[in-house]
Amino acid sequence: MPNLIKESVRGLESLTLEDLLFTNREIFLTTGVDSDTANMLIKQLMILEKLDSTEEITLYINSPGGEVVSGLAVYDYIQLMKAPVRTVCVGTAASMGAILFLAGQKREMLEHTRLMIHDPAYGGGDMAGKKPHELQMYVDKLKQSQEIIAGIIAEKTGRSLEEVYEKTREDSYFNATEAMAYGLATGIVKQTNSNRAFLS
């Protein structure tokens, strides 16, 4: 990753691209969601809010999704923040990536990006040798996660739970226009001539 040379009162300073974007209150989720990425995102959000609790923070998302618990930790923290958070889909925001996209007060998509929502799935482990009550525990946890995810989507889109469950039964993909119509996105960023235009 190249560094940028910036002149300051202390002379020439070398900044990474991440450092420069961070000073502009821009952070990124470009990997799967797990405990490490969740912890890093929460720390970045926490620092930026401490620096200024009124100025907007932009979270760019291009993620295949990941762990429900880790993703919900980030989602919940964003909902508690005083600083406004804008989320921008810059590729594909799928599964838990889409739920984190919904965390923003403003939710924008680039013209050719897409979202994907679905019910949570069992993420790992061997079911062989499990007793019925142990299998039921997994089912109950999945059901609980399904209800939480559906509740978030319903709240953010204004759709009924029945409509959401119908959509999340299978993998449901939305382009930017479809996401706007469904209520997932609040705006589309398009290129008009030489200028970037925001369509809401």
Res. 136: pLDDT tops 80 = yes
pLDDT tens digits along 174-190 = 999 999 999 999 999 98
Reading the block at residue 3, the tokens are 């560094």
Contacts by 155-161 with C-beta closer than 8 Å and gap 24+?
156/102, 156/107, 156/183, 156/184, 157/182, 157/183, 157/184, 158/183, 159/183
**Res. 6 pLDDT band, cuts 50 70 90:** low
Q: Which residues are known catalytic residues? A: 95, 118
Please name each of the domains of the chain with its CATH number.
3-199 (3.90.226.10)
Say what the pLDDT of residue 138 is: 79
